[in-house]
Amino acid sequence: MRDRIKIILVTFLMIIAFTGCSKLTRENYDTIKIGMDYEQVQKILGEPDKCDSALGAKNCIWGDTEKNITIKFVADKVAFPTMKGL
């Protein structure tokens, strides 16, 4: 019985740890301001899941199609942040 309780407790703590560590939150999105450097955004959100760049502009996405933060950078500065599902 004690082993079962330990397993349930460890599983519960792991679930909390994995879901609580996401940087993809509305609070983090609200801290992103136009004009911030790419490095500042990375400190808040971590590494993006995907970035495309062309002609001095970069479009980066954190998350997936259902829940994400997308930021367009011009000259490595935030120009247009958007979010979905947060």
- Whether residue 10 lies inside any domain: the answer is no
Assessment of whether the complete model's pTM goes beyond 0.75:
no
- Whether residue 33 lies inside any domain: the answer is yes
Q: Work out the average pLDDT over 18-41.
A: 88
More confident residue, 16 or 86: 86
Q: Are 84 and 71 in contact (CB under 8 A)?
A: no
Q: Is 34 left (phi over 0), alpha (psi -120 to 50) or beta?
A: beta
- Whether residue 68 lies inside any domain: the answer is yes
- Whether residue 71 lies inside any domain: the answer is yes
Helices (H), the chain: 2-20, 26-31, 38-45
Tokens of 34: 């136009």
Number of domains in the chain: 1
Say how far apart CA 59 and CA 44 lie, in whole Å: 17
**What domain range is 37 assigned to?**
25-84
- Whether residue 38 lies inside any domain: the answer is yes
